[in-house]
Amino acid sequence: MVSRGLAQLNLKQLTTLLKKREISCEEILLAHLDVIEKYDSCLGAFLQCGGRKDLVALAQESDKRWGNGENISLLDGIFVAVKDNIHVDGFLTTCASRILNNYRPPYEATCIEKLRQSGAVVLGKTNLDEFAMGSTTENSATVTSNPWNVDHVAGGSSGGSAVAVCSGMSSLALGSDTGGSIRQPASFCGLVGLKPSYGRVSRYGLVAHASSLDQIGPITKDVYSAAQLLNVISGFDNKDSTSVCSDRIILDELQRDISGKKVAVLGKISSVVDPQVALCFDRAQKTLKELGVIIEEIEFPAFDYVVAAYYLISTAEASSNLARYDGVKYGVRQECKNYQQMLTATRSQAFGKEVKKRILLGNFVLSSGYYDAYYQKAQKARGYICDLLKDIFNKYDAIITPTTPTTAFKKGENEQDFMKTYTADITTVVASLAGIPAISLPCGLVDGLPVGLQIMGKMLEEQQILNIAYQFEKAVARDFSPPLGKMTR
Ligand code: GLN
């Protein structure tokens, strides 16, 4: 088998072959490493990679377990790329920030412990927008490119994780999603990205961006792999006070017929998306209807507030979370005469432009004179959005939208107009503010770039949206692998 072929297989294909011992975990690893060697200098997915010797040793241990057969986890010996804001033993956690460029975490994230228990192997740490603030992975010293067209961004902030899976550098990846950072890069790269319900996956060991919104979740090639990975990383964790108990996803039930399910389309959506993307979305609706799904367009009067509410709340929380980087407790320090000068110099030099902008905005909206006018109002809007969604889910099983209003931006496209990038989050932040689960999966191509379909569900009802996504994916039956062969080094 050619190595890129093996590197491109999804979880089900890999485990079928592993079960029959037709391939080994070591061969899978070598295939991934081959792709990394060939393409990562151009694509920039990884910030750090595990050592070859260590990885081979772990793969060989998994191979022994597969050889022995019984009771093996289906993730054993499968390689996972992890966003560099999640703590993994043996790796730095840099958050793509100068301020953490030498930070070695003293503990491991709960989701990574769970991965290890299942036998999965962390391949390396992937690039992101600094502290997961952004939509392009351009807010980082390393540029990450979209494998479908390297002049375009991979999306963000989990751009590195998406590119690792999209190009075959890794079979699976973990990202984090605060306002769309799993779903949007998945959409831009033709992948499946799942933001779990708030609390389903422990945030212990995830560097905080906006704590009431952050969630860790899977980025994979297909829906089945996302469900499987979600099962491994989910679960109550007493180290995260917002963690909740949840039912496992029953994989066999993904096969269930979805005819008769009721799905809502948020009215006005077509007015905020690119016409070509809207066409793909129309076709996706047609496919769902052919599967027997009942689709109705409904009013969603909160559309005008969602982006503002998200940016006011997330920057407020970020400004407070990032106060801990003071040159004393974490990471780098700029030596100065006294504490105040050291604090100012460290933060001025080691935070990037976008992070500083958000700290300033967050402090502003929390300041005594403006708290009621901005932060409080945003919280009210959040409550209103949650109420609206509750009503919708009393009548419907799911809500669908295009994942993003456009396909992947050109690199540097929105540099002069950051509001353009912020407003492009209009489709993803709804689920973030309400804490509900949402999945993105590919539904077409526009000018050679993937378009994503987003399916949102009721709190903790991932089973429902995964079921719809699985059936949709089966009906579309299209391979969304990028034409890597055309890429120059
Ligand atoms: N684009 C959003 C932002 O910049 C999403 C970030 C995220 O989900 N981490 O805030």
| Secondary structure, 3-state, 114-126 | HHHHCCCEEEEEE
Q: What is the pLDDT of residue 104?
A: 96
Residue in the block written with tokens 């999804």: 10
Distance between CA atoms of residues 159 and 169, nearest Å: 13
Quote the percentage of the chain above a pLDDT of 90: 94
Looking at the predicted structure, is the pLDDT value of residue 484 above 80?
Answer: no
Q: How far is the CA of 437 from the centre of ligand 1 (A)?
A: 16
Amino acid at 187: S
Alpha helices in 87-136 (DSSP H): 110-117
pLDDT digits (tens, 9 = 90+) for 456-477: 999 999 999 999 999 999 999 9
Tokens of 257: 């017929």
Distance between CA atoms of residues 99 and 49, nearest Å: 20
Q: What is the pLDDT of residue 239?
A: 98
Q: What is the pLDDT of residue 414?
A: 85
> Does the active-site annotation cover 118?
no
Tokens of 80: 């996972």
- Confidence band (pLDDT; 50, 70, 90) for 336? very high
Specify the ligand 1 atom closest to the Cα of 354.
Answer: 4
Q: What is the pLDDT of residue 485?
A: 64
- Confidence band (pLDDT; 50, 70, 90) for 487? low
Q: What is the pLDDT of residue 4?
A: 53
pLDDT digits (tens, 9 = 90+) for 6-24: 999 999 999 999 999 999 9
Domain 3-263+394-486: top CATH class: alpha beta
Distance between CA atoms of residues 357 and 330, nearest Å: 21
Q: What is the mean pLDDT of residues 232-253?
A: 98
Specify the ligand 1 atom closest to the Cα of 177.
Answer: 8
> Does the active-site annotation cover 73?
no
> Does the active-site annotation cover 145?
no
From 83, 195, 221, 458, active-site residue: 83
Task: Mean pLDDT check: name the lowest of 110-124, 418-432, 475-489.
Answer: 475-489
From 181, 202, 234, 314, active-site residue: 181
Mean pLDDT, the chain, integer: 96
Quote the percentage of the chain above a pLDDT of 70: 98
| DSSP at 410 | B
Task: Mean pLDDT check: name the lowest of 77-81, 220-224, 225-229, 485-489.
Answer: 485-489
Tell me which of 356 and 479 has the higher pLDDT. 356
Looking at the predicted structure, is the pLDDT value of residue 227 above 70?
Answer: yes
Q: Is 249 in the pocket of ligand 1 (CB under 6 A)?
A: no
Residue nearest to atom 4 of ligand 1 (CA): 134
Q: How far is the CA of 387 from the centre of ligand 1 (A)?
A: 23
Alpha helices in 351-413 (DSSP H): 353-366, 377-395
Upstream peptide bond of 157 is cis (omega within 30 degrees of 0)? yes
Map out the domains of the chain as residue ranges. 3-263+394-486
Q: What is the pLDDT of residue 415?
A: 85
Please name which of 59, 56, 70, 112 lies closest in space to residue 88, comparing C-alpha atoms. 112
Tokens of 307: 């982006």
From 62, 157, 197, 432, active-site residue: 157
Q: Which of 157, 212, 403, 423 to mutate to test the pocket of ligand 1 (most atoms within 8 A of CB)?
A: 157
pTM above the 0.95 mark? yes
- Confidence band (pLDDT; 50, 70, 90) for 270? confident
Q: What is the mean pLDDT of residues 407-434?
A: 95
Looking at the predicted structure, is the pLDDT value of residue 489 above 50?
Answer: no
Q: Is 157 in the pocket of ligand 1 (CB under 6 A)?
A: yes
Q: Is 134 in the pocket of ligand 1 (CB under 6 A)?
A: yes
Looking at the predicted structure, is the pLDDT value of residue 2 above 60?
Answer: no
Distance between CA atoms of residues 456 and 172, nearest Å: 22
Q: Please provide residue 122's backbone torsions phi and psi, each rounded to the nearest 5 degrees.
A: -80, 120
Please name which of 399, 223, 395, 444 lies closest in space to residue 306, comparing C-alpha atoms. 399
Q: What is the pLDDT of residue 199?
A: 98
Residue nearest to atom 3 of ligand 1 (CA): 134
| CA 382 vs CA 313, 361, 423, 436, 467: distances in Å | 9, 18, 17, 13, 28
Specify the ligand 1 atom closest to the Cα of 135.
Answer: 1
- Confidence band (pLDDT; 50, 70, 90) for 71? confident
Distance between CA atoms of residues 184 and 310, nearest Å: 16
Q: How far is the CA of 178 from the centre of ligand 1 (A)?
A: 6
Q: What is the pLDDT of residue 362?
A: 98
Q: Is 181 in the pocket of ligand 1 (CB under 6 A)?
A: yes
Looking at the predicted structure, is the pLDDT value of residue 1 above 70?
Answer: no
Residue nearest to atom 10 of ligand 1 (CA): 133
151: enclosing H helix or E strand: strand 149-153
Cβ atoms of residues 303 and 266 within 8 Å: yes
Q: Is 317 in the pocket of ligand 1 (CB under 6 A)?
A: no
| CA 293 vs CA 284, 354, 363: distances in Å | 11, 42, 46
Q: Is the Cα dihedral 413, 418, 422, 424 positive or negative?
A: negative
Looking at the predicted structure, is the pLDDT value of residue 426 above 60?
Answer: yes
Q: Is 155 in the pocket of ligand 1 (CB under 6 A)?
A: no
Q: Is 464 in the pocket of ligand 1 (CB under 6 A)?
A: no
Task: Mean pLDDT check: name the lowest of 123-127, 150-154, 411-415.
Answer: 411-415
Q: Which of 181, 188, 194, 211 to mutate to test the pocket of ligand 1 (most atoms within 8 A of CB)?
A: 181
Tell me which of 2 and 254 has the higher pLDDT. 254
Q: How far is the CA of 210 from the centre of ligand 1 (A)?
A: 10
Specify the ligand 1 atom closest to the Cα of 132.
Answer: 9
Cβ atoms of residues 455 and 473 within 8 Å: no
Q: Please provide residue 268's backbone torsions phi and psi, each rounded to the nearest 5 degrees.
A: 80, -10
| DSSP at 409 | P
443-447, Cβ contacts within 8 angstroms, sequence gap of 24 or more: 443/280, 443/281, 443/283, 443/284, 443/287, 443/472, 443/476, 444/280, 444/283, 444/284, 445/190, 445/280, 446/274, 446/276, 446/277, 446/280, 446/407, 447/276, 447/407
Specify the ligand 1 atom closest to the Cα of 180.
Answer: 8
Looking at the predicted structure, is the pLDDT value of residue 133 above 80?
Answer: yes
Cβ atoms of residues 382 and 308 within 8 Å: no
Q: Is 84 in the pocket of ligand 1 (CB under 6 A)?
A: no
**Residue 4 DSSP SS3:** helix
Q: Please provide residue 296's backbone torsions phi and psi, each rounded to the nearest 5 degrees.
A: -130, 140
Distance between CA atoms of residues 319 and 377, nearest Å: 18
Return the beta strands (E) in 267-342 as ranges: 294-298
pLDDT digits (tens, 9 = 90+) for 290-319: 999 999 999 999 999 999 999 999 999 999
Q: Please provide residue 450's backbone torsions phi and psi, each rounded to the nearest 5 degrees.
A: -70, 150
Looking at the predicted structure, is the pLDDT value of residue 48 above 70?
Answer: yes
